[in-house]
Amino acid sequence: MSFKLPDLPYDYNALEPHIDARTMEIHHGKHHAGYTSKLNDAISGSPQEGKSIEELLAMVDQLGGAVRNNGGGYYNHSLFWKVMGPNKGGNPSGKLAEAINSDLGGFDAFKSEFEKAAATRFGSGWAWLIVDANGKLKVSSTPNQDNPLMPVAEVKGSPILGLDVWEHAYYLNYQNRRPDYISAFWNVVNWDQVSANYEAARS
Ligand code: MN
């Protein structure tokens, strides 16, 4: 049994003009595909073969860098594609919106905190909205392909929204203008999916 590259749930050009088709094609078809095949190579024939991705991420501190980097890359991008979509954006609603108000001081305060986490992550990494062990929302960021499910993460929890700030995620269209890419991200966030992730993380 091995991990499979998940299909993109929309066309490569579906997120334009915010994220361009060529970037999506390379990002999904080359980068995510590469993490997936290298993860399979890393666990093939090892005692870890057959474990779920969540089980692997929870023990990366005991495994080699190949599982940490490629398992993280596999998981992070699988989440990333799902929390975006065409004709999305807008505001969260329901219990998630209430939690953003109570835990993070409201939607505008959350957006500022998330944008700051994404913009100030030096080098490559991710910004996250997570549910922590107490069921509270938190904003965090991780380097490289680490994520908040890993014991090595500074801030731990279940990620419900993630933003890839590696240059490969935006350089073709935005070059060095990471803040413009971060601003554009709000136009493609699939809040229904983030809400579903929130409910699942709390159950
Ligand atoms: Mn990426």
* Distance from residue 32's CA to the centre of ligand 1 (Å): 7
Q: Work out the pLDDT band at 1, boundaries 50, 70, 90.
A: low
* Distance from residue 132's CA to the centre of ligand 1 (Å): 24
* Distance from residue 185's CA to the centre of ligand 1 (Å): 14
Q: Tell me, what's the pLDDT at 64?
A: 87
Residues 93-116 have pLDDT tens digits of 999 999 999 999 999 999 999 999
* Distance from residue 31's CA to the centre of ligand 1 (Å): 6
Residues 16-71 have pLDDT tens digits of 999 999 999 999 999 999 999 999 999 999 999 999 999 999 999 999 899 999 99
Q: Work out the pLDDT band at 142, boundaries 50, 70, 90.
A: very high
pLDDT averaged over the chain? 97
* Distance from residue 183's CA to the centre of ligand 1 (Å): 17
- The first and second tokens of residue 47, run together, are 């005692």
* Distance from residue 166's CA to the centre of ligand 1 (Å): 6
